[in-house]
Structure 1
Amino acid sequence: MKIAVDAMGGDHAPEHPVAGAILAARELGAEVLLVGQENRIQDALRRHSSAPDVSIVHADDVIGMDEPPATALRRKRNSSIHIAAKMLRDGEVEGFVSAGNTGAIMVIVKLYVGTINGVDRPALAVILPSRRGRTVLIDVGANIDPKSHQLVEFGVMGSLFAQTILGLSNPRVGLLSIGDEASKGTGLVRSAHSALEVSPLNFLGNVEARDIYSGNADVVVSDGFTGNVVLKTSEAVVETMLHLLREEFSKSRLNMVGARIARSAFTSYRGRVHYAEFGGAPLLGARGLSVICHGRSSARAIMNGIRVTMEYGRHRVNDRIEEMLAGLVLDPNHERKSQ
């Protein structure tokens, strides 16, 4: 599978995207094309003496992490994101991975690649750890103010993602709210609850944020604003816990000895909870395979983003989403119902 990697995307570009691409080529056998300013990519490649062969596709422009998406769309037509999205559209690559400006990626990918049939808006899905395994949270930033029928689409896409990637036969789907009663939540949540009840999904009803980590639901549906707040808070909690543990272990010689004894356990713990191990967030519902990584992604996080892209393609997630959404129609109140 050929995958375009935005070498200019993220806080540590091009060093980390280049290093992640090298890891993916070496450990996953991925065929990677690095897209970006060729001279800077070559400089980064030279720091890896035994790097496998990777191709470079030159792009003149770089979209900054804080640039407004509309400005990036109009003024930087030769950016690495534009070029990679065109390659995805034209079939030159099967997947696209970037740690760049999320808003710009969303707008540009939707412009060049479009959405699959039955999807109004693509959504970002992430996998989070729970007491019972893992939970899919969708949406985490693509749609700040969606409609209720779009939340149903998110539920369908998240459910199929959980089936194919997590291997769950009938994922339990919950709607994120401030209580489990159907009457609680915003107008959007109450309307979405009614629509999800008549969908073909295994819908549990409303769930609270704690249910994401308790494992009481396999898929949790949210608007992009709330989902992003949950995701960023989760990342901060994990990083704070790891920092506090390191502080405690360094306070005494006895603690340091204990840390050495428990090193393998803490390494395993970090692997279960740290965002770098989960790769990026697939942009579900967009044509082609697009995965958006954290802006602070390490080389390992980029490699895992490439791994997620490969798994996403291997399991034909987009085809299955399109097939399931074909069985849903809009009623006069603009809610999706099964045929």
Structure 2
Amino acid sequence: MPEKIRISLDAMGGDNGLDTVLPGADLVLQRCPNIQFSLFGNAQEIESRIGAYPKLAATAKIVDCAVSITMDEKPSQALRKGRGKSSMWNAIAAVKEGEADVAVSAGNTGALMAMSKFCLRTMAGIERPAIAAIWPTMRGESIVLDVGATVGADAQQLIDFAILGGAMARSMQGISRPSIGLLNIGVEEVKGVEEVRTAGRMLREMSPANLEYAGFVEGDDIGKGTVDVVVTEGFAGNIALKTAEGTAKQLGTYLRSAMKRTLMAKIGYLFARGAFERLRAKMDPRKVNGGVFLGLNGIVIKSHGGTDAEGFASAVELAYDMAKNKLIEKISEDLGDYHRGRFSEDNV
């Protein structure tokens, strides 16, 4: 019998709350029956609706929470209002207390990060956490971080992000020595801000045993999949993420418009519908879903707030894989090696 993976869910988070969380969790339970869910939220409301999902109802633990965090609340306001009482806080606290292996929420990103940092704290040697996104590319998938947690990261924080992203690539993608690129405005060593140039120099001098530093990469390299891990600070990373999401929606609109223009186009769409559906699933940010908070003493997954049940299921499955692959333990090992000075080829 496989080991149970315990996942805590902020059942009230996101634009659609239970309308997304319950069917999404039920989908994952059908695919991964060794999950034990804890649902944090308004117990009366959850119990009145969970009966539509008999398997989930039979196995999930429901924890009543008096407060829900809205999508427009400021992080400081959410902390004051929700600490110890909200569905978001208690889903995170379950990870801290060892009652869950990972937490998932589709709620307010700023509030979720603030609560996660306050509750779980950062790992030893990590000053600021990062949000990592799994990015579809022409070669498969890459990891991009930070996409919104730390604006204006300094050189040391960029090094930390490289270590965190590398550990995630080794754990989740089975890459023994993932390639790392620093996002910059050009690949030449003289280009970019001082912090990025300094981080590049530090990575070259470190010669890490389980990371391959590939130098600077540009924005178009993200979609190409030039490297396994793209490292940047949160301002540029978030703009890149939102630009990619907007471009995907724009292309989808163009395609739908083109397919409706003539009778022949409509007929052609019928033959190519399967290919278009696969393209949409790959590019839709609600489907390729789940930002990972890295650098904390526990795993927290941020699902897209406007996602549907299938998209939320994707975030939960990501959480499941991370817990199963012992991501926190691998990150701790890499950070320990780095901070003990055993991270280079010469010292391994």
TM-score bracket, normalised by the shorter chain, equals over 0.9
Counterpart among 96, 100, 104 of residue 93 in structure 1: 100
* Residue equivalent to 2:82: 76
CA contact (8 A) 1:18 1:34 kept: no
* Residue equivalent to 2:172: 165
Once the two structures are superposed, what CA deviation does each residue of 1:116-175 show, in whole Å capped at 9, x if it has no partner?
Answer: 333222211111111111111011111112221111111111112112212222211100
Which segments of 5 or more consecutive residues in structure 1 lack a partner in the other structure?
A: none
CA contact (8 A) 2:50 2:56 kept: no
Counterpart among 70, 78, 83 of residue 64 in structure 1: 70
Once the two structures are superposed, what CA deviation does each residue of 1:208-232 show, in whole Å capped at 9, x if it has no partner?
Answer: 0100111211110010111011011
Q: Give the drift of 1:91.
A: 1.1
Q: Give the drift of 1:98.
A: 0.5
Q: Secondary structure at the match of 2:98?
A: coil
Q: Flag as ranges the 4+ runs of structure 1 deviating above 4 A.
A: 336-339
CA distance in 2 between partners of 1:50 and 1:259 (Å): 38
* Residue equivalent to 2:221: 211
Amino acid at match of 1:280: G
Q: Which moved more, 1:107-116 or 1:232-241?
A: 107-116
Q: Secondary structure at the match of 1:136?
A: strand
Q: Give the drift of 1:177.
A: 0.7
Q: How does 1:220-299 map to 2 (within 5 A)?
A: 220-299=230-309
CA distance in 1 between partners of 2:215 and 2:329 (Å): 27
TM-score (norm 2): 0.90
Is 1:10 matched with 2:10? no
* Residue equivalent to 1:133: 140
* Residue equivalent to 1:20: 24
Counterpart among 314, 321, 328 of residue 311 in structure 1: 321
CA contact (8 A) 2:7 2:104 kept: yes
Q: Secondary structure at the match of 2:286?
A: helix
Counterpart among 40, 56, 77 of residue 35 in structure 1: 40
Q: Give the drift of 1:4.
A: 0.8
TM-score (norm 1): 0.93
Amino acid at match of 2:71: M
Q: Give the drift of 1:24.
A: 1.5
Q: Which moved more, 1:28-37 or 1:224-233?
A: 28-37
* Residue equivalent to 1:174: 181
Q: Give the drift of 1:81.
A: 1.1
CA distance in 2 between partners of 1:280 and 1:263 (Å): 26
CA distance in 2 between partners of 1:223 and 1:317 (Å): 22
Counterpart among 193, 204, 207 of residue 197 in structure 1: 204
CA distance in 2 between partners of 1:229 and 1:88 (Å): 30
Which segments of 5 or more consecutive residues in structure 2 lack a partner in the other structure?
A: none
Q: Give the drift of 1:239.
A: 1.4
Q: Give the drift of 1:317.
A: 1.5
Q: Secondary structure at the match of 1:182?
A: coil
CA distance in 2 between partners of 1:57 and 1:337 (Å): 43
CA contact (8 A) 2:163 2:334 kept: yes
Amino acid at match of 1:61: V
Amino acid at match of 1:42: E
CA contact (8 A) 2:178 2:212 kept: yes
Q: Give the drift of 1:337.
A: 7.5
CA distance in 2 between partners of 1:179 and 1:101 (Å): 34
Amino acid at match of 1:260: L
Q: Give the drift of 1:83.
A: 1.1
Amino acid at match of 1:224: G
Query: How many residues are paired up?
Result: 334
CA contact (8 A) 2:171 2:330 kept: no
CA contact (8 A) 1:128 1:273 kept: no
Q: Residues 245 and 51 from structure 1, CA distance in 2 versus in 1: closer, same or farther, beyond 3 angstroms?
A: farther
CA contact (8 A) 1:198 1:337 kept: no
CA distance in 2 between partners of 1:210 and 1:34 (Å): 40
Amino acid at match of 2:128: R
% identity of equivalent residues: 34
CA distance in 2 between partners of 1:109 and 1:188 (Å): 27
Q: Secondary structure at the match of 1:192?
A: helix
Amino acid at match of 1:117: A
Q: Give the drift of 1:5.
A: 0.8
Q: Give the drift of 1:302.
A: 1.1
Q: How does 1:91-130 map to 2 (within 5 A)?
A: 91-130=98-137
CA distance in 1 between partners of 2:6 and 2:335 (Å): 28
Q: Residues 288 and 329 from structure 1, CA distance in 2 versus in 1: closer, same or farther, beyond 3 angstroms?
A: closer
Q: Give the drift of 1:26.
A: 2.1
Q: Secondary structure at the match of 1:326?
A: helix
Amino acid at match of 1:34: L
Amino acid at match of 1:64: T
CA contact (8 A) 1:118 1:322 kept: no
CA distance in 2 between partners of 1:247 and 1:39 (Å): 44
